[in-house]
Structure 1
Amino acid sequence: MSVPYLGDLFIFGSFITVILSLICYFLAWRGKDHLLQLGRNFFYAATAFVSGAIIILLYLILTHDFTVAYVFSYSSTDLPLGFLISSLWGGQEGTFLLWIFFVVLMALVMIRTAGSFEKGNMVFVNLFLLSIIIILLKKSPFELMPVLRTEGAGLNPLLQNFWMQIHPPIMFVGFAGVVFPFAFAMTGLVEKKYTQWAESARRWTMFTWIALGTALVMGGYWAYVTLGWGGFWAWDPVENSSFIPWIFLAAQVHVLFINRVRKGMMRFSLWMVSLSFWSVLYGTFLTRSGVLADFSVHSFVDLGLNNFLVGGTIFFVLLGSFLIFYRWKDISPNPSFSKITSKSYLVTLGVLVLFIGGFLTLIGTSAPLLTRLAEEPSAVGLDYYFVTMTPIAIAVMLFIGLFPAFRWNNGVSKPKLLIIGGSVFTLTVATLLITGFTYSLMYLLFFGTAAMALINNSFVLIESFRQNKFIPGYLAHIGIALAMVGAGLSAGFETKQTLRLPMNEQVQAMGYNLKFTQMVDNPKGFDAYVEIDADEDHFIAKLPHEFPKNQEGVMRKPHVEKYLTKDVYVAPVAMEQTGQNDPSLLEFSKGETKTIDKYSITFNDYDLSSHGESGMTTAGAKLTITYDDKSEDITPVIAVSGDSVLTEHASFDYENGHVTIAGIKPETGSVFLKFMGDFIPKTETAQNILVIELSKKPLINLFWFGTILCFLSGALSMRKRFKRTESAQTEYIDVENLKKEAVS
Structure 2
Amino acid sequence: MHYLIGDLGHLFVITSFITSLVTAFAYFKATTVNDLEKKTFWLHNGRTGFYLHAAAVVGICVTLFVIISNHYFEYHYAYNYSDRKLPVYYLISTFWNGQEGSFMLWLFWQAMLGLVLIHTNKFWEAPVMTVFALVQAFLASMILGVVIPGLGSKIGSSPFILLRDAMHEAPIFMAQPEFVPKDGNGLNPLLQNYWMVIHPPTLFLGFATTLVPFSFCIAGLWLKKYQDWIRPALPWALFSGAVLGLGILMGGYWAYETLNFGGYWNWDPVENAIYVPWLVLVGAIHTMITYKNSETALKASIVLVITTFILILYATFLTRSGVLGDASVHSFTDLGLSGQLLIYLFFFLIAAVALSIARWREIPSSEKEASTYSREFWIFIGAVTLCLMGFQVLLPTSIPVWNKILHGIGITSNLAIPGDQITFYSRFQLWFAVVVGLLSGVGQFFWWKKIDKDQLKKELTVPVLITLIIFALIVTIGQVYTYTYVILTLAGVFTVVSNTKILFSLLKSSPGLSGGAVAHMGVGMMLLGIMFSAGYSKIVSLNNTGMRISNEFSEDFNRDNLLLFINEPRTMWGYDIEFLGERLEPRHHGGYIRKSDVMPTGDRDLVVAKRNFTANGTTFKANDTIDIRGENTFYEIQLRKNGRAYTLYPRAQINPEMGGLLVSPDIYRTVSADLYTHVSSVMKPSEEEAWSKLEEMNVKIGQQFYANDYVCVLDSIDRVFDVNGVHLNPEDVAVKAKIRIRGEKGDYYAEPIFLIKDKMAGRIPDEVADLGLRITLLNIHPETNEFALGINTRQKDWVVIKALEKPYINLLWLGTLVLMGGFGIAMTRRVREFRKMKAKGFE
Give the alignment's TM-score, normalised by structure 2. 0.72
Match of 1:474 among 505, 511, 517: 517
2:511 counterpart SS class? coil
Cα distance in 2, alignment partners of residues 95 and 469 from structure 1:
39
Residues 537 and 249 (structure 1 numbering): CA distance in 2 closer, same or farther, change over 3 Å?
farther
Asked if structure 2 preserves the Cα contact closer than 8 Å seen for 1:262 and 1:336, the reply is no
1:362 counterpart SS class? helix
Per-residue CA deviations over 1:206-263 (Å, capped at 9, x if unaligned) read 1111110111111111100110221111111111121111111110111112111221
Q: Which residue of 2 aligns with 1:735?
A: none
Q: Within 5 A, what are the aligned runs for 1:624-643?
A: none
Does residue 419 (structure 1) correspond to residue 455 (structure 2)? The answer is no
Q: Which residue of 1 aligns with 2:564?
A: 501
Shift of 1:439: 5.7
Does residue 272 (structure 1) correspond to residue 322 (structure 2)? The answer is no
Q: Within 5 A, what are the aligned runs for 1:513-662?
A: 513-520=576-583, 521=595, 523-535=630-642, 537-548=644-655, 550-576=657-683
Shift of 1:404: 3.2
Cα distance in 2, alignment partners of residues 116 and 388 from structure 1:
45
Q: Which residue of 2 aligns with 1:245?
A: 277
Per-residue CA deviations over 1:355-392 (Å, capped at 9, x if unaligned) read 11111121122122224434256312323312221121
Per-residue CA deviations over 1:136-192 (Å, capped at 9, x if unaligned) read 112110011114222111111111100000000010101111111111111100111
Asked if structure 1 preserves the Cα contact closer than 8 Å seen for 2:581 and 2:797, the reply is no
Query: Where do 5+ consecutive residues of structure 2 fail to align?
Result: 145-155, 165-172, 174-179, 407-411, 543-560, 584-594, 596-627, 693-761, 763-777, 779-789, 838-843
Cα distance in 1, alignment partners of residues 689 and 811 from structure 2:
50
Q: Which residue of 2 aligns with 1:135?
A: 142
Cα distance in 1, alignment partners of residues 478 and 22 from structure 2:
69
Q: Which moved more, 1:380-389 or 1:231-240?
A: 380-389
Cα distance in 1, alignment partners of residues 415 and 324 from structure 2:
9
Cα distance in 1, alignment partners of residues 17 and 792 from structure 2:
68
Shift of 1:338: 3.2
Q: Which residue of 2 aligns with 1:17?
A: 19
Q: Within 5 A, what are the aligned runs for 1:78-227?
A: 78-137=85-144, 138-146=156-164, 147=173, 148-227=180-259
Shift of 1:708: 0.4
Shift of 1:336: 7.1
Asked if structure 2 preserves the Cα contact closer than 8 Å seen for 1:288 and 1:299, the reply is yes
Asked if structure 2 preserves the Cα contact closer than 8 Å seen for 1:340 and 1:410, the reply is no
Q: Which residue of 2 aligns with 1:698?
A: 807
Asked if structure 2 preserves the Cα contact closer than 8 Å seen for 1:229 and 1:571, the reply is no
Task: State the one-letter code of the partner of 1:51.
Answer: V
Q: Which residue of 2 aligns with 1:603?
A: none
Residues 149 and 578 (structure 1 numbering): CA distance in 2 closer, same or farther, change over 3 Å?
closer
Shift of 1:726: 6.5
Cα distance in 2, alignment partners of residues 341 and 288 from structure 1:
46
Cα distance in 2, alignment partners of residues 395 and 256 from structure 1:
21
Cα distance in 1, alignment partners of residues 118 and 690 from structure 2:
74
Q: Which moved more, 1:81-90 or 1:401-410?
A: 401-410
Match of 1:461 among 487, 491, 503: 503
Shift of 1:71: 0.9
Shift of 1:699: 0.6
Task: State the one-letter code of the partner of 1:139.
Answer: S
Match of 2:70 among 37, 42, 63: 63
Q: Which residue of 2 aligns with 1:4?
A: 6
Match of 1:450 among 465, 486, 492: 492
Asked if structure 2 preserves the Cα contact closer than 8 Å seen for 1:339 and 1:409, the reply is no
Asked if structure 2 preserves the Cα contact closer than 8 Å seen for 1:576 and 1:691, the reply is no
Asked if structure 2 preserves the Cα contact closer than 8 Å seen for 1:404 and 1:414, the reply is no
Cα distance in 2, alignment partners of residues 353 and 292 from structure 1:
27
Shift of 1:427: 4.7
Task: State the one-letter code of the partner of 1:717.
Answer: A
Residues 336 and 562 (structure 1 numbering): CA distance in 2 closer, same or farther, change over 3 Å?
farther
User: Could you tell me the percent identity over the aligned residues?
Assistant: 31
Cα distance in 1, alignment partners of residues 433 and 87 from structure 2:
42
Per-residue CA deviations over 1:438-459 (Å, capped at 9, x if unaligned) read 7653332211111111111111
Q: Which residue of 2 aligns with 1:353?
A: 385
Shift of 1:434: 5.7
Shift of 1:462: 1.9
Shift of 1:544: 1.7
Task: State the one-letter code of the partner of 2:139.
Answer: I
1:116 counterpart SS class? coil
Root mean square deviation of aligned Cα: 2.7
Asked if structure 2 preserves the Cα contact closer than 8 Å seen for 1:75 and 1:155, the reply is yes
Q: Which residue of 2 aligns with 1:259?
A: 291
Shift of 1:704: 0.1
2:339 counterpart SS class? helix
Cα distance in 2, alignment partners of residues 21 and 405 from structure 1:
47
Does residue 44 (structure 1) correspond to residue 51 (structure 2)? The answer is yes
Shift of 1:528: 1.2
Q: Which residue of 2 aligns with 1:643?
A: none
Cα distance in 1, alignment partners of residues 686 and 321 from structure 2:
47
Cα distance in 2, alignment partners of residues 75 and 320 from structure 1:
41
Shift of 1:313: 0.3
Per-residue CA deviations over 1:468-509 (Å, capped at 9, x if unaligned) read 635111010101100111110111221113222111101111
Task: State the one-letter code of the partner of 1:442.
Answer: T
Cα distance in 2, alignment partners of residues 111 and 487 from structure 1:
42
Cα distance in 1, alignment partners of residues 689 and 683 from structure 2:
14
Asked if structure 2 preserves the Cα contact closer than 8 Å seen for 1:421 and 1:453, the reply is no
Residues 249 and 575 (structure 1 numbering): CA distance in 2 closer, same or farther, change over 3 Å?
same
Cα distance in 1, alignment partners of residues 667 and 691 from structure 2:
40
Shift of 1:343: 2.4
Cα distance in 2, alignment partners of residues 527 and 177 from structure 1:
40
Q: Which moved more, 1:372-381 or 1:48-57?
A: 372-381
Q: Within 5 A, what are the aligned runs for 1:723-738?
A: 723-725=832-834
- Aligned pair count reads 638
Cα distance in 2, alignment partners of residues 583 and 230 from structure 1:
33
Q: Which moved more, 1:352-361 or 1:703-712?
A: 352-361
Per-residue CA deviations over 1:638-683 (Å, capped at 9, x if unaligned) read xxxxxxxxxxxxxxxxxx9xxxxxxxxxxxxxxxxxxxx9xxx998
1:327 counterpart SS class? helix
Cα distance in 2, alignment partners of residues 409 and 378 from structure 1:
49
Cα distance in 1, alignment partners of residues 532 and 118 from structure 2:
47
Match of 2:440 among 375, 379, 400: 400
Shift of 1:551: 3.0
Q: Which residue of 2 aligns with 1:390?
A: 430
Shift of 1:432: 6.7
Residues 578 and 178 (structure 1 numbering): CA distance in 2 closer, same or farther, change over 3 Å?
closer
Shift of 1:426: 4.5
Match of 2:351 among 294, 319, 322: 319
Cα distance in 2, alignment partners of residues 436 and 166 from structure 1:
35
Cα distance in 1, alignment partners of residues 96 and 478 from structure 2:
48
Cα distance in 2, alignment partners of residues 459 and 704 from structure 1:
22
Cα distance in 2, alignment partners of residues 238 and 336 from structure 1:
41
Query: Where do 5+ consecutive residues of structure 1 fail to align?
Result: 586-655, 657-676, 729-744
Asked if structure 2 preserves the Cα contact closer than 8 Å seen for 1:364 and 1:384, the reply is no
Asked if structure 1 preserves the Cα contact closer than 8 Å seen for 2:190 and 2:664, the reply is no
Give the alignment's TM-score, normalised by structure 1. 0.81
Task: State the one-letter code of the partner of 2:334.
Answer: D
Cα distance in 2, alignment partners of residues 717 and 579 from structure 1:
60
